[in-house]
Structure 1
Amino acid sequence: MRKAQSRTAPDENLPPTLPLGAQTLDVNRVFARALESFWRYLTYEKFRSPQTIKAYESDLSAFFEYCLRHGAQELADIDLEMIRSWLAHMHRANIARTSTARRTSSLRTFFAWAEEESLITDNPTLTLATPKKTGHLPQVLNQQQILFLIDRVEKQLQADPQDPHTMRLLASIELLYATGIRISELCSLNLSSIDRENRTLRVVGKGNKERVVPFGQPAMRALNRWVTQGRRQWFSANQQAVEEALFIGPRGKRVNPRQIREDLTKALAAIPDSQLSGAHIFRHTAATHMVDGGADIRSIQELLGHSSLATTQIYTHVSVDRLKDSYNNAHPRA
């Protein structure tokens, strides 16, 4: 085992308050220091996104608070039995299997790093089993529903052609449906991310990986309208020159993903006879409709930015289910 090495970046590069450890674990400085070093590792060596680091913050803070309540005073006090006890506690609390699986993965990553850094001598997660995720298929909008949604927003724009909120909403829906990008990726786009001539986006996804995603004419029209008419309404004269974000809020700053999610949730609620909700549904819908249209599964994997083909293959199952439903409804001998 190699000796621990310093992985710290210059102090001036750190935020004023650390997202891990120091904010939530004021009881035991041993855990706080370890988490601070782990955050530096994720940020400066693994180049994890702020969203990924925030997920680690939530998972590890909850775990170490549990450990403190059950007598652990240092990392060496944590063993497999304590970890299993925490997982059982989450099971009794009816935490979703997907959340439990993610938290288990967070523990594995942390303790593997801690062993590598010689903070512990034995990794307690080596024999830890990951809870199986439930096999439910994602819900998607059908083509009639997505067209209804777009048509409704376009009619709102006809009623108030200069409303920047509606222009931003239409551009968001068109772009999410055209590309299947994540909400976080949408909000991270800059004006320079758009290649208007080739109608492509340069998207930075998970793990700081960059990919190029094409989109169609409807999305281009909605984007042009937003940029030339809506976006400029939320700028003062000096802001216009410095803010690069494609999607902004009324104060002229980059839009918060929560704002976009709220707008999309309200829009989805207007679809008749539908209980579908959640902004991520546009990503599922885009992928499923591409599969329905005959797109190659590996091309969809590249478009969505999935590191594993297995993640993308769920959309083939969604399409098979839709095919079965059509068959059962239409075939006289079904």
Structure 2
Amino acid sequence: MTNGFTKLTEQFLVHIGVERGLATATVTAYESDIAKYIDWLETRGIHEPDAITKQDVEDYIAALDQAGESARSKARRLASIHEFHRFALGQHAVTADVSAAVKAPKGASTLPDVLTVDEVTRLLDAAAAGGSTDPVVLRDKALLEFMYATGCRVSEATGVNLDDIDLDEHIARLMGKGSKQRLVPLGSYACRAITAYLNAGRGKLERRSSAKIPERRALFLNKRGKRISRQSVWEIVKATGERAGITKPLHPHTLRHSFATHLIQGGADVRTVQELLGHASVTTTQIYTHVSPETLIETYLTSHPRAR
């Protein structure tokens, strides 16, 4: 990356990371997207922000298409580019936002992977391992019940502390993107699983810690008594899914997608789900309002007077 872009990129990353308070993983994703974009521009002899044209942006997205990138990936990269160009305009590094009129490619709103209610039940039953009282099993059960009950992001699950949970009031406090807090209800299943974990599991895990000062705040601990990591949560979800015989793609966000979809299917309005998920825009939440082909057919057969 040449000097024409270096300072602007550094300022942009400080802006989104410090001033806007975006999560570290989000900042890293922006940094990667913008670095690849600038590298491509420089192969075309473009070394200054104000030399970029709308055609350059369109050609870059076309190049991603030729490279076989998915519609969702292209849409994400374009979103990063839009953010970067808006910042450049605000810093007077350019005289116009040439990316503004460039639209995301068709098909970018691919529906997320979602479990059925039955599959979620199988997953959570598998986490219980037949009622085992092993502290790791109690933790895994509590963790997955918590994630499905709240629809939290994996970073919110790993970051939750003991004082963020009120089991009497059935409420959890989550720290979302941009350090924004929100309160979400905790269902009875999650409360029971967390209570069992706190009574017979967490203390045993904490005592395994070799640290001079044990982890006193974190709700979910790993096998060594430290705060559980994102990678550990991924492994727990994957291993539990395999035991449950679930063949769909499964990752921590699948529980978040399933949480939102099941609420919508159960009659919750989009604005409520938006608040529960911590989405800044309702547009992001609306992806969960899709109607599955099976539901569409069932509704038609039961509702249309001449369907049968």
Distance between the aligned counterparts of 1:212 and 1:59, measured in 2?
A: 32
Between 265-274 and 202-211, report the one with greater CA deviation. 265-274
Match of 2:236 among 263, 282, 293: 263
Are the counterparts in 1 of residues 135 and 200 from structure 2 also a CA contact under 8 Å?
Answer: no
| C-alpha RMSD over aligned residues | 2.6
Gaps of 5+ in 1: 1-24
Tell me what 2:281 maps to: 308
Match of 2:150 among 173, 179, 200: 179
CA pair 308-321 structure 1, distance change in 2 beyond 3 A: farther
Gaps of 5+ in 2: none
Tell me what 1:244 maps to: 217
1:275 aligns with 2:240: no
- 1:27-80 Cα shifts (integer Å, max 9, x gaps): x24423222111111123212221221221121111112222332233233332
Letter in 2 for 1:92: Q
Between 230-239 and 217-226, report the one with greater CA deviation. 230-239
Match of 1:299 among 272, 276, 285: 272
Match of 1:162 among 130, 134, 157: 134
Tell me what 1:208 maps to: 179
CA pair 329-162 structure 1, distance change in 2 beyond 3 A: farther
Aligned-pair identity (%): 31
CA pair 123-143 structure 1, distance change in 2 beyond 3 A: closer
Distance between the aligned counterparts of 1:68 and 1:316, measured in 2?
A: 41
Question: In structure 1, the residue corresponding to 2:104 is in which secondary structure?
Answer: coil
Between 68-77 and 50-59, report the one with greater CA deviation. 68-77
Are the counterparts in 2 of residues 268 and 276 from structure 1 also a CA contact under 8 Å?
Answer: no
Are the counterparts in 2 of residues 239 and 252 from structure 1 also a CA contact under 8 Å?
Answer: no
Match of 1:49 among 14, 23, 28: 23
Between 116-125 and 278-287, report the one with greater CA deviation. 116-125
Tell me what 2:59 maps to: 85
Distance between the aligned counterparts of 1:258 and 1:235, measured in 2?
A: 19
Are the counterparts in 2 of residues 157 and 163 from structure 1 also a CA contact under 8 Å?
Answer: no
Tell me what 1:4 maps to: none
1:119 aligns with 2:93: yes
Tell me what 1:284 maps to: 257
Give the length in aligned residue pairs: 303
Distance between the aligned counterparts of 2:12 and 2:246, measured in 1?
A: 47
TM-score of the aligned structures, taking structure 1 as reference length: 0.80
1:195 aligns with 2:166: yes
Question: In structure 1, the residue corresponding to 2:244 is in which secondary structure?
Answer: coil
CA pair 133-203 structure 1, distance change in 2 beyond 3 A: farther
TM-score of the aligned structures, taking structure 2 as reference length: 0.86
- 1:153-209 Cα shifts (integer Å, max 9, x gaps): 212552xx2242x22321121011111111122122122211222111111222332
CA pair 167-105 structure 1, distance change in 2 beyond 3 A: same
1:148 aligns with 2:119: no
Question: In structure 1, the residue corresponding to 2:184 is in which secondary structure?
Answer: strand
- 1:113-169 Cα shifts (integer Å, max 9, x gaps): 1122122333322332232344543332222222222222212552xx2242x2232
Tell me what 1:217 maps to: 188
CA pair 71-239 structure 1, distance change in 2 beyond 3 A: same
Distance between the aligned counterparts of 2:121 and 2:114, measured in 1?
A: 13
Tell me what 1:72 maps to: 46
Distance between the aligned counterparts of 2:80 and 2:23, measured in 1?
A: 15
CA pair 157-235 structure 1, distance change in 2 beyond 3 A: farther
Are the counterparts in 1 of residues 30 and 80 from structure 2 also a CA contact under 8 Å?
Answer: yes
